[in-house]
Amino acid sequence: MVVVINDDRVKDVEAYLPYAKAFAADAVANDKGCISMEVLVDPKVPGRVLYLSHFETEEDFRAHAMGETFQKHLPQLGKYFISAEDTILTVG
């Protein structure tokens, strides 16, 4: 299993959150190997939103990142997106 921390910077966190939560729920329900996905807000860093995800394999995460669910939600999420960085950790 892998844990993925996606560290996003966005404009207007409050407007972004409903779209982020819908994306996370859709990914858990429909993307192969997506065990869980939480949306977290950093109250100390304006515009910082983290996705904390568990996937069965790194390949499942990579397929998710290129897949249909991501593409479906991209128009809504993209309106607020500034930057992102992924960290992939293996569960020992």
Do residues 74 and 26 lie in contact, with contact meaning Cβ atoms separated by under 8 Å? no
Domains of the chain: 2-90 (3.30.70.100)
Once rounded to an integer, what is the mean pLDDT over residues 3-15?
97
Beta-strand ranges (E) seen in 1-92 are: 2-10, 34-41, 48-55, 81-90
pLDDT tens figures, 28-82 = 999 999 999 999 999 999 999 999 999 999 999 999 999 999 999 999 999 999 9
Position 92 scores a pLDDT of 87
- For residue 62 the two structure tokens come to 């990579």
Residue bearing tokens 């995800």:
53
DSSP bridge pairs for 2: 55, 90
Buried b (16+ CB within 10 A) or exposed e, 61-89: bebbeebebbeebeeebeebeeeeeeeee
Once rounded to an integer, what is the mean pLDDT over residues 5-28?
98
Position 71 scores a pLDDT of 96
Position 37 scores a pLDDT of 98
Do residues 5 and 89 lie in contact, with contact meaning Cβ atoms separated by under 8 Å? yes
Position 23 scores a pLDDT of 98
